[in-house]
């Protein structure tokens, strides 16, 4: 990081969170306080505050006498997370369709365009991050703040789950589902949007290889030089 002003703990936490969601830092990777302090040019106090924030977001776990590691959701949690998404997101899709404005449609199309650009560049991690943001945006448009908060948490866990269990070729087809949702939103067809979201989430779940796996974390410096 070349910023002349060292980042705050909040800025550092947000940068690490984005790196995790973009799969630049793998589940199971160790987050060394010393190394992070060196990479970002900040004190250990700042690093600890950032890691604490990520702990609250359930993105990292602290292991006694070993330090902080990116969380590794279990197969059981993977299934539970997608089951919860299947309960919540079809209803948010219906509500979003009924409230959709031209401005909202423009934002969603921009997300899809950015996804395609990332895929074209071979940046699959960023494409999946943007896919998650697409779902969060739908929940925001639905104007159900409590459900939005739940969806944000579930999308966050989904990012780790996909990093561990994703069969990449199968999951890359999901952009077609996003186009179909856009079409339903444009028609303000809530019932169709609800059904499409159910199908989309089922497809996502079936694109995961839910066998026990461990990831191979890259070095922090290489991951954060992106």
| pTM score above 0.85 | no
The CATH classification number of 9-72 equals: 1.10.10.10
Q: State the CB neighbour count (10 A cutoff) for residue 1.
A: 12
Direct distance between the N- and C-terminal alpha carbons of the chain, in angstroms, rounded to an integer: 10
Residues of the chain with pLDDT under 50: 2-3, 169-170, 173
Domain boundaries in the chain? 9-72, 75-206
Q: What are the φ/ψ torsions at residue 61 (nearest 5 degrees)?
A: -130, 145
Q: What does the block give as tokens for 208?
A: 């995961």
- Domain covering 75-206: architecture: Up-down Bundle (1.20)
Q: Check if the beta carbon of residue 79 is closer than 8 Å to that of residue 168.
A: no
Topology match between the domains 9-72 and 75-206: no
- Within 141-181, strands assigned E span none
DSSP code of 188? T
Residues 6+ apart with CB under 8 A from 218: 24, 25, 26, 29
Q: pLDDT tens, 135-167? A: 999 999 999 999 999 999 999 888 888 878 876
């Amino acid at each position: 990081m070349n910023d002349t002003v060292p980042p705050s703990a909040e800025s550092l936490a947000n940068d690490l969170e984005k790196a995790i969601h973009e799969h630049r830092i793998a589940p199971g990777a160790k987050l060394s306080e010393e190394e992070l302090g060196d990479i970002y040019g900040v004190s250990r106090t700042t690093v600890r505050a950032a890691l604490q924030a990520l702990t609250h977001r359930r993105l990292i776990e602290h292991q006694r006498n070993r330090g902080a590691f990116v969380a590794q959701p279990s197969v059981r949690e993977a299934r539970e997370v997608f089951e919860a998404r299947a309960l919540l997101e079809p209803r948010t899709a219906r509500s979003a369709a009924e409230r959709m404005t031209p401005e909202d449609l423009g934002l969603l199309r921009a997300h899809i365009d950015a996804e395609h650009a990332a895929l074209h560049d071979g940046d699959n991690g960023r494409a999946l991050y943007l896919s998650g943001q697409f779902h969060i945006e739908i929940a925001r448009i639905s104007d159900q703040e409590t459900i939005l908060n739940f969806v944000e948490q579930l999308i966050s866990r989904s990012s780790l789950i996909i990093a561990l269990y994703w069969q990449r070729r199968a999951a890359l087809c999901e952009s077609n589902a996003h186009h179909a949702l856009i079409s339903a939103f444009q028609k303000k067809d809530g019932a169709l949007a609800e059904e499409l979201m159910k199908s989309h989430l089922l497809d996502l779940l079936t694109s995961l290889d839910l066998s026990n796996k461990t990831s191979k974390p890259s070095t922090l410096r290489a991951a954060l030089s992106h």
